[in-house]
Structure 1
C-alpha cells in the first residue's frame, strides 16, 4: 500500500532546499561562467593536446609573466584557445583576453599588451615542455620576438579580429581544421602581410590571389 502524503509533507518538500528544482542560470550567469578561467579544465586541454604529439603555444603575461592568457595556435574548440570567441581567452569580453580592448592585456596603450608598439612587458610564448619562443609584441625593441608571417598579419589586423576571433581562425586555416594546433611551419608559410604604407583595407592575401583580401578573414 502506498504511503499517504499529508499536507505537512508537501510543505516540507516545498521549503526544503534538497527538493528544490534547479534554477536555470541566466544569460549573464552563463556568460560569466564561460569567461571565468578554469585551471583544471585548461590543464586537461593542454595535456590532451600535448599527449597527442602536438605543441600548443601558450601565452603568459603580467609583470611576472605567470598569468595564463590562452593558447596562440589551438583550435577554437578548446576553451584555452584565443580563437574561441566564447571562451575566457578568445572573447572580446574576457578580462584575460588579448581581444578585450578595455582591459590591460588587450588595451593598445597597456605595457602588458602585445598590441602596444611601445609595450615594455609583453606576453611570452612558451610550450608545455618549457621551451621559450619569444615575446608576443608589436614592439620591435623587445628581444627575442615571436614572429612569423601569420603573427605579423594578426598584428596588422588585430582591431578587426577582436569582433570575431573564431571566424578569423576558421578562414585563415580552413584547410587545417582537423588539427588540434597550427604548426609553426604553417604560420611561417602564411602569406606575408602587405606593406604598412598601403591602406589597410586594400591588403591582399595571398599575393597570388588578388580576390582574397585580408579583411575577408573576419567578415
Structure 2
C-alpha cells in the first residue's frame, strides 16, 4: 500500500477518534504557552492547520511550523522538532487530560504515542511546506 492510500485510510480511522476530543498544544518550560489546537478544523483561528492563524503560520512566533521560532526550530529546547528537546509541547485535551509530549526526542519520558503525534513527528518537514494539504490528507 502506498503512502497516499495509507494516509487516506489512517485519516478515515483516526479522524473519527481525533474529532471526538479536542487536543491542544502547550509549550514552554511550564507548558503555559498556548500553541494551538492539534485537531481543529483548518479554518479555526486556533488551529495549527490554519496557515493564516498564529498557530499555523510559518512566520508566527507561536507556531510549531516556524523553523526559526522557539516552538518550531530544530535547535530549540521547546520545539517538538529538536531530537534532544528538554521542554517539548504537551498535548492536552479540552479537560486538561495529558496525552504526552509532542517530540522527536526518543529519550523524553511520556512521549506521546497518539497516531497523530507519530505522524507529525515522522512527516513534520513535509507538513511544514504544505500544512493545508496535509490537513486534507489526515482529516478529510
Normalising TM by the smaller chain, what interval?
0.7 to 0.9
Between 1 and 2, higher relative CO (CA 8 Å, sep ≥ 6) is seen in 2
1:71 — aligned with what?
37
Q: CA deviation at 1:164?
A: 2.4
RMSD: 1.5
TM-score w.r.t. the length of structure 2 is: 0.81
Deviating above 6 A after TM superposition, structure 1's stretches of 4 or more consecutive aligned residues are none
- Which runs of no fewer than 5 residues in structure 2 stay unpaired? 1-18
Bigger radius of gyration among the two: 1
Query: CA deviation digits over 1:166-195, x for unaligned, max 9?
Result: 211112222xxxxxxxxxxxxxxxxxxxxx
Structure 2 contact 112–118 (Cα < 8 Å) conserved:
no
Q: CA deviation at 1:77?
A: 1.5
Alignment equivalent of 2:46, drawn from 80, 104, 120: 80
- Which runs of no fewer than 5 residues in structure 1 stay unpaired? 1-52, 175-219
Alignment equivalent of 2:103, drawn from 112, 137, 142: 137
- Report the Cα distance in structure 1 between the residues aligned to 2:33 and 2:99, rounded to whole angstroms: 17
TM-score w.r.t. the length of structure 1 is: 0.53
Alignment equivalent of 1:58, drawn from 7, 24, 31: 24
- Report the Cα distance in structure 2 between the residues aligned to 1:172 and 1:90, rounded to whole angstroms: 15
Structure 1 contact 85–164 (Cα < 8 Å) conserved:
no
Q: Please give the secondary structure, in 2, of the residue aligned with 1:105.
A: coil
- Report the Cα distance in structure 1 between the residues aligned to 2:115 and 2:23, rounded to whole angstroms: 16
